[in-house]
Structure 1
Amino acid sequence: MHRSRISTILFDTPEADAAAAFWSAALGVEARPNDDEPQFTSLPGGIAGLVTAVQRIDGEPRFHIDMETDDLDAETDRLTALGAVEVSRWLECRTLRAPGGHLLCVIPVHSDRAEFEAAATVWD
């Protein structure tokens, strides 16, 4: 048994400063650079219930989601059994491409544990 939920939406772009300024104004929230991981600019409260951020990337602009889980192996196996393909790993993050071409990352729980447990789906 393990649990998972969509926790994060990321605006990926090489134009991160402009994107952060736009999404900050569009969502009515303050853009906060992340000193520990400078490729990320947080948009706290941008989308209710989700971590929202801009991520600086080298490729084409896109959106991607993060699935947080209490078991990385089990969640990766579950999603690949549904047709996703693992394309890379970075630290504890596993990047998958879902059918249809969309990217998603499987990450360890990073939200408040009680919030995660209340919102996550339990999988057998």
Structure 2
Amino acid sequence: MHKSRMAVVVIDCKSDDLDREMEFWAEALGRRREADPIDPKYRDLKGPASEARVLLQSVDHPPRVHLDIETDDIPAEVERLTGLGANVVGDCKGWVVMEAPSGHRFCVVAPQRPDFEENANMWM
């Protein structure tokens, strides 16, 4: 058995100024800006703990939005999603990039939100 759920909406930004992108999306979504980013490639837009995270990511590919599915067992979740028709695209920094049958990319990641244990779906 393992748990998973949708955790993060990732806005992939092909931009030389991620802070400018953060300003726009923070205002557009009514989110607070990350005060001191730890990694220059990412900006976290703070919102209510009950809502999915919104993360901006600097990328080299065309801009798009993708979802992160958080899980306590990445291999088991990848197997479950593959069984539903998804394909593995590759591994990246400890998470797995996948593609849905529709062609949409998404990532399978370790737990990201503090209420994961009590609110994730249980799979057998």
The TM-score, its normalising length taken from structure 2, stands at 0.89
Task: Give the aligned partner of residue 93 of structure 1.
Answer: 95
User: Take 1:44 and 1:25, find their aligned partners in 2: how far apart are those partners?
Assistant: 12
Task: Give the aligned partner of residue 23 of structure 1.
Answer: 25
Instruction: State the SS of the aligned residue for 2:69.
Output: strand
Q: Which runs of 5+ in 2 are unaligned?
A: none
User: Take 1:18 and 1:46, find their aligned partners in 2: how far apart are those partners?
Assistant: 22
Q: Which runs of 5+ in 1 are unaligned?
A: none
The C-alpha deviation readout for 1:46-83, integer Å capped at 9, x for no partner, is 79511111110001010011111011110000001111
User: Take 1:79 and 1:24, find their aligned partners in 2: how far apart are those partners?
Assistant: 31
Q: Offset of 1:17 from its aligned partner? A: 3.4
RMSD (Å) for aligned C-alpha atoms = 1.6
Listed as ranges, the matches of 1:1-124 within 5 Å are 1-15=1-15, 16-32=18-34, 34-35=37-38, 37-45=39-47, 49-112=51-114, 115-124=115-124
Instruction: State the SS of the aligned residue for 1:117.
Output: helix
Q: Offset of 1:29 from its aligned partner? A: 2.2
Instruction: State the SS of the aligned residue for 1:29.
Output: coil
Structure 1 stretches of 4+ moved >4 Å = none
Which stretch shifts more, 19-28 or 78-87?
19-28
Which amino acid is 1:105 matched to? Answer: C
Q: 1:23 to 1:65 in 2, by over 3 A?
A: same
Which stretch shifts more, 68-77 or 46-55?
46-55
Q: 1:46 to 1:57 in 2, by over 3 A?
A: farther
Which stretch shifts more, 11-20 or 83-92?
11-20
Identity %: 36
User: Take 1:46 and 1:31, find their aligned partners in 2: how far apart are those partners?
Assistant: 13
User: Take 1:71 and 1:9, find their aligned partners in 2: how far apart are those partners?
Assistant: 20
- Report the count of equivalent residues: 121
